[in-house]
A and B are shown apart, each in its own frame.
Chain A
Amino acid sequence: MTTTLVVLDTTERLRRGDRELLVLARSLGEAHAALPAAPGDGLLDELAGHGVAAVHVPAAGPGDRLTTPAVALAAAAARAGGARTVLLPNTPEAKDVAARLGVRLEAGVITDAVGLDTDLVATKSVLAGGWTTRCRATSPVLVATVRPNSVELPAELPTELPAGADRPAVHVHEVEDTVPAARVVGRTELPASGRPALGEARVVVAGGRGTGGDFGPLEELADVLGGAIGASRAAVDAGWIGPEAQVGQTGRTVSPQLYVSCGISGAVQQRAGMQTARVIVAVNKDEQAPVLEIADLGIVGDLKKVLPQAVEHLRSLRG
């Protein structure tokens, strides 16, 4: 039975993407989890519900060092647990960890995986979503970062300790993390939107220069659909919305069930972040806009009229 280590950066709740990694790890054999600090009982129960056999935590908290504590812990946990595969989220933060972990474990690293079979062959999206490759590591250990919305979750998500099950064993590691590192000297929390996280949302409503800076109609639609708000770089550069909302080559890559593109022309760098969405709907007042070439439904019109009407109609259908 092979062991897969899942490197998470939570100590409180599992997010959707975390659960996908755990389900994937279990499909390969035994699952272990590495966490940045000792978890609460609630999280341990959730991990038990996902069939996690062992949890690895550092003896000392991560402190203010960037990236390297997670690398050191993951390396220690992978070695101690005999992991054949190490899975991480596909976020920029986790990619930095995966990169350095690859060097420490002399392991091939595959990013942007959208699947991993039992022979450890990964399916990966490349060239801005234009191609799909199958690839594998030639090293004894594989490190992979997996895109959210790649793994089916069970209808019933485990939230508590399954009857008769034990909480996973918690292994505390004295990790040595003495390499030079950047340190975090200030943190500003971004205001919480109450909407799902952009990267893992099932629905994304995204706005561009064509919003003229008013995201109100998009927010209303996102709320009716339970979606997240995204943006083009033009909207971010204009200062209308924070960079964390940017979708595209230099923003987030999203693969939602539904992407609603509003007032976005559909440049290649924007498409890089959204063209693997299952369904794309575009609202654009220019019938020549490139985004209409990839949209399952294109509405040529003014988003300020189309979106509120759509919201009103959806609400009326709901009664």
Chain B
Amino acid sequence: MNRPLTLVVPVKHVPDAQGERVLSGDPPVLERGPGILSELDEYALEAALQLVEASGGAEAGHRVLALTVGPADAAAALKRALQLGADAGVHVLDDALAGSDAWVTARVLAAAVERIAEEESRPVDLVLTGMASTDGETSLVPGQLADRLGLAHVGFASSLALAEDGATLTATRHTGTEVLELVAPLPALVAVTDRANTPRYPNFKAIMAAKKKPVRTWSAADLGLGPGDVGLAGSLTRVLEAVPRPPRTAGEVVVDEGEGGIRLAEFLVARKLV
């Protein structure tokens, strides 16, 4: 393939799911401690890097841009994306964005992707996302972004490749009952699952190189969005209340000394689960 491609990977900065996560305030929002790049976005970034590497690499003029919408500390997610191999970053940073739902996030991302195409003076060929964020977990943003941008859309792709002609891509998707082989014209948006690849770790050289990579920062107004379009004001969903699920407490623990199976069976009978 000889045409240089522009790939955009939206990435999200999220609280680490290994730690305790708390919703607080009115309306309830997720408390932001030290965060990480949403693990599922690493698969999207890896997919982008592998597609570029398979088509001649950066020398062929391909560009991978990481794009984040989030508060100042979301810069950490961009930094990680640059260390992993993205060529440049875009940070949509605006206090007015706090509390945005999927609808607003997709709207802001769509405006940012259009702006990227303008600034790069070439169209965006492929938007690659994770299958969900690890905090919001809705899986809505990829489909909403595709619909807004009028892109061909493959959700939950477990593999992905560019066709020789440079104008189409192929992907596979597992449903509960089938494996689908898919073809989509470019430009397209593909949301990949954690089956798509194994994300790389940045090495020292990549970490040093990332420091020199450019990051552009845009406000909502830079993207033509007013205060009423974003944040809580622009969102179409409201959280009214949030309560922690009563923690599951350990029940009975029985060490098997030859009767473990019988204990299991008796428990099921006693709980009327048989």
Is residue A16 contacting chain B, with contact meaning CB distance below 8 A?
no
Bound Cα distance A280, B273 (Å)? 11
Is residue B6 contacting chain A, with contact meaning CB distance below 8 A?
no
B residues in contact with A137, CB < 8 Å:
236-238
Is residue B224 contacting chain A, with contact meaning CB distance below 8 A?
no
B residues in contact with A99, CB < 8 Å:
102, 139-144, 147
Number of interface residues of B (CB under 8 A): 84
For the complex formed, measure the closest distance between the CB of B168 and the CB atoms of chain A, giving whole angstroms.
Answer: 10
Bound Cα distance A103, B143 (Å)? 9
B residues in contact with A183, CB < 8 Å:
182-184
Interface bits A48-77 vs B (CB < 8 Å: 1, else 0): 000000000000000000111001000000
For the complex formed, measure the closest distance between the CB of B164 and the CB atoms of chain A, giving whole angstroms.
Answer: 16
Nearest CB to that of A68 among chain B residues?
A: B153
Contact between chains at B140 and A279 (CB < 8 Å): no
For the complex formed, measure the closest distance between the CB of B62 and the CB atoms of chain A, giving whole angstroms.
Answer: 22
For the complex formed, measure the closest distance between the CB of B178 and the CB atoms of chain A, giving whole angstroms.
Answer: 5
Is residue B221 contacting chain A, with contact meaning CB distance below 8 A?
no
Within 8 A of A (CB), among B138-187: 138-144, 146-148, 150-156, 158, 171, 174-185, 187
Contact between chains at A309 and B242 (CB < 8 Å): no
Bound Cα distance A127, B240 (Å)? 16
Bound Cα distance A246, B78 (Å)? 30
For the complex formed, measure the closest distance between the CB of A294 and the CB atoms of chain B, giving whole angstroms.
Answer: 4
Is residue A194 contacting chain B, with contact meaning CB distance below 8 A?
no
Is residue B241 contacting chain A, with contact meaning CB distance below 8 A?
yes
Is residue A181 contacting chain B, with contact meaning CB distance below 8 A?
yes
Contact between chains at B144 and A102 (CB < 8 Å): yes
Contact between chains at A109 and B273 (CB < 8 Å): no
Bound Cα distance A91, B261 (Å)? 34
Is residue A197 contacting chain B, with contact meaning CB distance below 8 A?
yes
Is residue B123 contacting chain A, with contact meaning CB distance below 8 A?
no
Contact between chains at A131 and B248 (CB < 8 Å): no
Contact between chains at A133 and B151 (CB < 8 Å): no
A residues in contact with B264, CB < 8 Å:
281, 283, 297, 299, 306-307, 309-310
For the complex formed, measure the closest distance between the CB of A243 and the CB atoms of chain B, giving whole angstroms.
Answer: 5
Task: List 11 A-B residue pairs with CB atoms under 8 Å apart, sorted by A's residue number.
Answer: A92-B155, A103-B144, A132-B244, A133-B243, A138-B236, A139-B236, A180-B187, A184-B182, A250-B40, A272-B17, A309-B265
Contacts A133-B23, A180-B184 supplied; 15 other A-B pairs, CB < 8 Å: A95-B139, A108-B101, A127-B21, A139-B236, A187-B180, A188-B179, A189-B177, A189-B178, A225-B273, A258-B268, A269-B17, A297-B251, A306-B256, A313-B262, A314-B269
